[in-house]
Chain A
């Protein structure tokens, strides 16, 4: 179902493009990030996070690995949605706006993929 009027659909412009889905996912990822962020901050605060052996042992625990993957997935998704809104609010030129949004998404999804891959490599490695 679309909440958009036929005219706005034809124009392909206006806040109702994919606004509801975007808004909803920003909220869903925000809710997921509440427990995940608290868990993450208090976990890494409890041990020397800059010690290699401690860190590897921590990530090798299956529950930690899964929680980290969920944390990174929610975080990078949430960040990509959020940064898009900020760009849309401040960049007036349509071309610059489009390029900025695409670049911000590429960058964030690349960092997200790197982070998730790193966790899996450690968790699954010998």
Chain B
């Protein structure tokens, strides 16, 4: 506390990954949890706009639908679906860690691959449901 941290040119997290620190599945999934969390936080603006447009009336909702239903809108919705399912699955992984379990190297890799697989499956299932039902 009393000693000022050295202001040398030591790399700051997360910029040590790459040049100084070999990227690994575990560190990549960790930073992805943070990035998807931030993306979802921005996505809340979209959700608020969606229900607010509906509460405002058919015209406002029509404008919103036109934007959300465009190609760019659909791509963003798809990305949002994956960000949410990834963050959700990896969030469960975090909650398991919070109980003190799953820290062995092998377990961390197994759960990591599971999270990636499950998030892709959930995203595809959602969009299949969206188009098929």
Binding site for B on A (CB under 8 A): 11, 13-14, 27, 30-31, 33-34, 37-38, 41-42, 45-47, 49-52, 55-56, 59, 68, 72, 75-76, 79, 82-83, 86, 89, 108, 111-112, 114-115, 117-119, 121-122
Contact = CB atoms under 8 A, between A and B. Distances in A.
Nearest to A53: B58
B41 A50 contact: no
B61 A111 contact: no
Contact of B51 (A30, A45, A86, A118): A118
Contact of B61 (A31, A37, A55, A119): A55
Interface residues of B, number: 38
B108 interface: no
Contacts of A31: 95
A41 B43 CA distance: 13
A13 B54 contact: no
A83 to B, nearest CB: 5
